Structure 1
Amino acid sequence: MPNASAKPKHSRTRRRRCREDPARNELVSSSLESAQQCLFNQDYGTAYAHYLLVLHLAPMFKDFAKESFRFTLFKWAEELDSVGRIRELFDCYEQALELFPSDEVILNSMGEHLFRMGFRDEAAGHFHKALKLRPDYSEARENFYSVANWLVERWHFLMLNDHGRNQKYQQAIQKAVHSGCNTVLDIGTGTGILGMCAKKAGAAEVYACELSKTMYELACDVVTANGMGGSIKILHMKSLDMEVPRDIPQKVSLVVTETVDAGLFGEGIIESLIHAWRHLLLPPQTGENELMAQSVTGRVIPAGATVFGMAVESAEIRRHHRLCVSKVGGLSMATAGELRSPVSCSAQPDDSMEPYTTERLSRIPGGYKSLTEPFTALQIDFNNVQELEGLSSREVQQVCLPVVQQGELDALAVWFQLHLDEQSSLSTGPQEDTCWEQAIYPVHSAQAFLLKPGDMLIVEITCGDAYLRLCSVAVLRDGREIRLDRQHDPGHSGKPVSVPNPEAELCSALACLQTDQNQTKHFCVLECSEMALLNNWDYHQKFNIALGKLISQLKVTGRDAKQESSVGSNLGDRANSSDCRDLMYVLDVSEGFSLLSLIAASHGHVKAFSSVEKHKQQEVLKRLARSSNISENHLEFWLNHMEDEQGMLKRPSGEKLWSAIMLDCVETSGLIRQKLMEKASLARCLLEEGGRIFPERIVVHGMLVESDTLLLESAVQGPEPTLGFNIAPFINQFTVPVHVFLDFSTLQCRHLSESVELFVLNLMDVTANYSNREIKVQTTAAGRITAIPFWYHIYLDQEISVSTFSQNSHWRQAAAVLQQPLKVLAGDWILLSVKLQKSTISISAQVLTSPDPNT
Structure 2
Amino acid sequence: MMKTFCGRTNPTSGALDWVESEEDYHQEIARSCYADMLHDHDRNEKYYQGIRAAVARLKARDERVVVLDIGTGTGLLSMMAITAGADFSYAVEVFKPMAEAAQCIIQKNGFSDKIKIINKHSTDVTVGPDGDMQEKANLLITELFDTELIGEGALPSYEHAHQNLVQEGCEAVPHRATVYAQLVESELLWSWAQLQSMEVEGARLVPPPAIGHCAGAHSVCDIQLSQVPPACFTPLSPLCTMFSVDFSKPVSSASQSHSSKFVAQSGGRAQVVLSWWDLDMDPSGTIVCTMAPSWMYPQPTMAPWRDHWMQSVYFLPVESQVAPGDELSLTVCHDDYSLWYSLQSLSQKEVQSESPPSRPCCTCQAHLVWTRPRFGELNDRRRTESYVSALRNVLSEDSVCLSVSDGSLLPVFARMLGAKKVFSLENSRMSKKVIEQVLEANSMTGGVELLEIRPEQLSSQDVGEEQISILMGEPFFSSSLLPWHSLSFWYRRTAVAGLLRPSVTILPCSASLHMVAVEFQDLWRIRAPCGTCEGFDVTPMDEMVQRSLDFRESREAEPHPLWEYPCRALTQSAAVMTFDFTRCVPQQPISSQGSLPFIRNGRCHGVALWMEMHLTDDITVSAGLTRPITEQGDCEWTRHRKQGVYFFRSPWESSGDGRTAVSYSFTFEPSLGDIKMDFSQCTSVSD
Q: Structure 1 residues 788 and 335, CA, compared in 2 at 3 Å: closer, same or farther?
A: closer
After superposition, what is the alpha-carbon deviation per residue over 1:685-708, rounded to whole angstroms, capped at 9, x for unaligned?
A: 553312244322212233332224
2:224 aligned with 1:360, yes or no? yes
Which of 661, 664, 668 is the aligned partner of 1:833?
A: 664
2:166 counterpart SS class? coil
Identify, as 1 or 2, the structure richer in helix.
1
Task: Determine the structure 1 residue equivalent to 2:435.
Answer: 621
2:664 aligned with 1:848, yes or no? no
Task: Determine the structure 1 residue equivalent to 2:402.
Answer: 586
Q: Which amino acid aligns with 2:68?
A: L
Q: Structure 1 residues 752 and 263, CA, compared in 2 at 3 Å: closer, same or farther?
A: same
CA–CA distance in structure 1, aligned partners of residues 38 and 371 of structure 2:
31
Identify, as 1 or 2, the structure richer in strand.
2
1:61-76 alignment runs, 5 A limit: none
Q: Structure 1 residues 482 and 241, CA, compared in 2 at 3 Å: closer, same or farther?
A: closer
After superposition, what is the alpha-carbon deviation per residue over 1:35-84, rounded to whole angstroms, capped at 9, x for unaligned?
A: xxxxxxxxxxxxxxxxxxxxxxxxxxxxxxxxxxxxxxxxxxxxxxxxxx
Which of 423, 426, 429 is the aligned partner of 2:289?
A: 426
CA–CA distance in structure 2, aligned partners of residues 785 and 114 of structure 1:
29
1:332-731 alignment runs, 5 A limit: 332-334=204-206, 336-339=208-211, 353-354=217-218, 356-364=220-228, 367-385=232-250, 388-389=251-252, 392=254, 396-405=257-266, 407-422=268-283, 423-431=286-294, 432-435=303-306, 436-445=309-318, 449=320, 451=322, 453-463=324-334, 465=336, 467-474=338-345, 524-525=366-367, 526-552=370-396, 555=399, 584=400, 586-588=402-404, 590-591=405-406, 593-602=407-416, 603-615=418-430, 617-632=431-446, 634-639=448-453, 645=454, 647-648=456-457, 653=462, 658-663=468-473, 664=475, 671-673=483-485, 676=488, 678-684=491-497, 686-717=499-530, 723-727=537-541, 729-731=546-548
Which of 790, 793, 799 is the aligned partner of 2:609?
A: 790
CA–CA distance in structure 1, aligned partners of residues 144 and 518 of structure 2:
34
1:50-199 alignment runs, 5 A limit: 111-112=6-7, 126-129=20-23, 148=28, 155-178=33-56, 179=59, 180=63, 182-199=65-82
Cα deviation for residue 421 of structure 1 reads 1.6
Q: Which amino acid aligns with 2:425?
A: S
C-alpha contact 2:480 2:486 (8 A) present in aligned 1: no
Cα deviation for residue 833 of structure 1 reads 0.3
C-alpha contact 1:753 1:778 (8 A) present in aligned 2: yes
1:672 counterpart SS class? helix
Cα deviation for residue 381 of structure 1 reads 0.9
C-alpha contact 2:493 2:581 (8 A) present in aligned 1: yes
1:552 counterpart SS class? coil
Cα deviation for residue 231 of structure 1 reads 4.8
After superposition, what is the alpha-carbon deviation per residue over 1:170-189, rounded to whole angstroms, capped at 9, x for unaligned?
A: 23223434524532222122
After superposition, what is the alpha-carbon deviation per residue over 1:59-115, rounded to whole angstroms, capped at 9, x for unaligned?
A: xxxxxxxxxxxxxxxxxxxxxxxxxxxxxxxxxxxxxxxxxx99xxxx68x545999
Q: Structure 1 residues 189 and 657, CA, compared in 2 at 3 Å: closer, same or farther?
A: farther
Task: Determine the structure 2 residue equivalent to 1:813.
Answer: 643
Gaps in structure 2 of 5+ consecutive residues: 11-17, 295-302, 353-360, 627-636
Cα deviation for residue 522 of structure 1 reads 6.1
CA–CA distance in structure 1, aligned partners of residues 571 and 481 of structure 2:
24
Cα deviation for residue 193 of structure 1 reads 1.7
C-alpha contact 2:150 2:336 (8 A) present in aligned 1: no
Task: Determine the structure 1 residue equivalent to 2:560.
Answer: 741
TM-score, scaled relative to structure 1: 0.64
Q: Which amino acid aligns with 1:842?
A: M
CA–CA distance in structure 2, aligned partners of residues 691 and 637 of structure 1:
20
C-alpha contact 1:330 1:544 (8 A) present in aligned 2: no
Q: Structure 1 residues 546 and 597, CA, compared in 2 at 3 Å: closer, same or farther?
A: same
CA–CA distance in structure 1, aligned partners of residues 487 and 393 of structure 2:
28
After superposition, what is the alpha-carbon deviation per residue over 1:761-805, rounded to whole angstroms, capped at 9, x for unaligned?
A: 222335799643233334332222223223332112222221123
C-alpha contact 2:521 2:565 (8 A) present in aligned 1: no
CA–CA distance in structure 2, aligned partners of residues 520 and 848 of structure 1:
56
1:278 counterpart SS class? helix
Which of 319, 322, 336 is the aligned partner of 2:191?
A: 319
Q: Which amino acid aligns with 1:813?
A: Q
The range that moved more, 159-168 or 733-742, is 733-742
Task: Determine the structure 2 residue equivalent to 1:220.
Answer: 103
After superposition, what is the alpha-carbon deviation per residue over 1:94-144, rounded to whole angstroms, capped at 9, x for unaligned?
A: xxxxxxx99xxxx68x545999xxxxxxx89x4144xx8xxxxxxxxxxx9
Cα deviation for residue 669 of structure 1 reads 5.3
Percent sequence identity over matched residues? 21
TM-score, scaled relative to structure 2: 0.79
Task: Determine the structure 1 residue equivalent to 2:14.
Answer: none
C-alpha contact 2:255 2:335 (8 A) present in aligned 1: yes
2:600 aligned with 1:781, yes or no? yes
CA–CA distance in structure 2, aligned partners of residues 682 and 221 of structure 1:
52
Of structures 1 and 2, the larger Rg is shown by: 1
CA–CA distance in structure 2, aligned partners of residues 846 and 554 of structure 1:
54
Task: Determine the structure 1 residue equivalent to 2:299.
Answer: none
Q: Structure 1 residues 661 and 809, CA, compared in 2 at 3 Å: closer, same or farther?
A: farther
CA–CA distance in structure 1, aligned partners of residues 53 and 45 of structure 2:
12
Cα deviation for residue 481 of structure 1 reads 6.5
The range that moved more, 228-237 or 410-419, is 228-237
CA–CA distance in structure 2, aligned partners of residues 114 and 537 of structure 1:
29
Cα deviation for residue 250 of structure 1 reads 2.7
Task: Name which structure has the greater RCO, CA cutoff 8 Å, separation 6+.
Answer: 2
Q: How many residue pairs end up in the alignment?
A: 621
Q: Which amino acid aligns with 2:187?
A: A
Q: Which amino acid aligns with 1:608?
A: F
Q: Which amino acid aligns with 1:325?
A: S
Q: Which amino acid aligns with 1:787?
A: G
CA–CA distance in structure 2, aligned partners of residues 522 and 708 of structure 1:
40
Q: Structure 1 residues 734 and 277, CA, compared in 2 at 3 Å: closer, same or farther?
A: farther
